[in-house]
Structure 1
Amino acid sequence: MRHLRRCKQLFCLLFGGVVAVAAAAIDVDRAKDVYGPCAACHGPFGAGGKQGEYPRIAGQSPKYLELQLQAFQSQGRINLPMYPYTRERELSDEDMKLVSAYLAEIALPTRPPVFKDSDDALTRLRAMEKVMIVPRVEGNVDNGQVVYQKNCAVCHGKTGHGRGMFPMLVGQYTNYLQKQIDAYLKGERPHDEEGATTGALYTLKAADIQDVLAYLTTLQEVRP
């Protein structure tokens, strides 16, 4: 019994130490410095472009972000606007990990905050800048839920928040998602790590894809 207690104590010390190191590993000031040039397109909080021309990256899976930065740098994923921010800038692996972890921790509320009478205009403006609400789009939400849970949830999660190397879809601009889907279907961007144009996406009808996009816009308040 005493041996078990010691093992548990040792485990707690070791595990607690790992958590503490992981939490302290993000140098926020350094991360903001690395992210600085990115804000020109993705905004100060990683919310992206209002019309979906630039994707939301705040709250995204850190592993996914890191992999995409590496792909942009190596040109495994061709994206000319990202070239100067990754390859020409010589973004290091360490910086990629850091900025990915930093962005993953940014939460963008989907409802306007409740202000106090004492809050000044600047405070209200800064708070509202973080609010991100993706407009609902047309489509059969019920069918979209069935199609999504059957074909997409295994990789992107039941609530669309992503998993590991697979990106978060919920809270993303619909126009951006549609643009990426079109690129996948045209073979301009591989849909998986092997680069093959196979998988569930290529078996879906256009109407089903639209329904899935409509369904995703209903999940903004859902958390994993």
Structure 2
Amino acid sequence: MLCLITPLQAQTYDYDPDNGEEINELCSGCHGEFGQGGKDGEYPRIASQPLEFIANQLRLFRDRKRKNFAMVEYIDDRQLPESDIYDISRYLSEITLKTQLAPVDENAPDFDAYARLLESKMTMQIPKAEGDIERGEKIYNKECDSCHGKEGWGNHKNAGPMLAGQYTNYLWRQVKQLRTKQRIHDEDSPNDELLNEFSDQDLTDIFAYLSVMDD
């Protein structure tokens, strides 16, 4: 589910992290300073996603093969050439978000309130979703982990996107788009109907399982 079947061909560029950071300033308006997304999944988490998955989605937006009105204004051949796609994709893929804050003593003489604030901005945990977690784990391990990685943390080798740590509401929106062909699951097999093989209850349970992987 939500998997890229064919590995994307990586291109070689000299990585410019400063350029990646600069481009991310534009992305952060919707996706957050650290790619954490927001508004309960209206804007998805993009931090820590596989580099080639991010790059491929940007190419799809650029080529108007994946429709998103918010992205149209910012992505075209002139505004986002391949070198920029590589820089921002790598920049985002290397961001690590914590799932919980470490306990600290705020009264300690060396307590740094600003550092704590920055740490909190890079901390993200998805609320537990309704569903049968044990059943969802079984289905996931049987049907999904080969593309999306162990416990849903993505497959960097095959550019399979991370599903754990992603907003559940966002995942449901993608299911709807994939089922109605508003979004193509696999560009090499555009008629693929993989998501239709899962019942809503199957997906509810899978998403319940994924929602506790960051606990």
Match of residue 194, structure 2, among 181, 196, 200? 200
Q: Secondary structure at the match of 2:46?
A: coil
Q: Distance in 2 between matches of 1:34 and 1:56?
A: 16
Match of residue 76, structure 1, among 62, 65, 71? 65
Letter in structure 2 aligned against 1:141: I
Q: Secondary structure at the match of 1:159?
A: helix
CA RMSD of aligned residues (A): 1.9
Matched, 1:162 2:154: yes
Q: Distance in 2 between matches of 1:66 and 1:27?
A: 15
Structure 2 residue runs of 5 or longer lacking an equivalent are 1-11
Answer yes or no: is the 8 Å Cα contact 2:126–2:212 preserved in 1: no
Match of residue 168, structure 2, among 162, 171, 174? 174
Match of residue 138, structure 1, among 120, 130, 133? 130
Q: Distance in 2 between matches of 1:186 and 1:199?
A: 9
- What TM-score do the two structures reach when normalised by structure 2? 0.86
**Which one scores higher on RCO, CA 8 angstroms, separation ≥ 6?**
2
Structure 2 counterpart of 1:5: none
Q: Following superposition of structure 1 onto structure 2, how do residues 74-153 of structure 1 map, counting pairs within 5 Å? A: 74-87=63-76, 90-115=79-104, 117=108, 118-153=110-145
- What TM-score do the two structures reach when normalised by structure 1? 0.83
Q: Distance in 2 between matches of 1:66 and 1:48?
A: 17
Structure 1 counterpart of 2:9: none
Structure 1 counterpart of 2:211: 217
- Deviation, 1:194, is 2.3
- Deviation, 1:159, is 2.0
Q: Distance in 2 between matches of 1:61 and 1:51?
A: 22
Q: Distance in 2 between matches of 1:149 and 1:138?
A: 19
Paired residues in the alignment total 199
- Report runs of 4+ in structure 1 exceeding 4 Å deviation: none
Q: Distance in 2 between matches of 1:112 and 1:26?
A: 31
Instruction: Name the structure with the higher helix share.
Output: 1
Higher mean displacement: 84-93 or 52-61? 84-93
- Aligned identity (percent) is 38
Mark the structure with the bigger radius of gyration.
Answer: 1
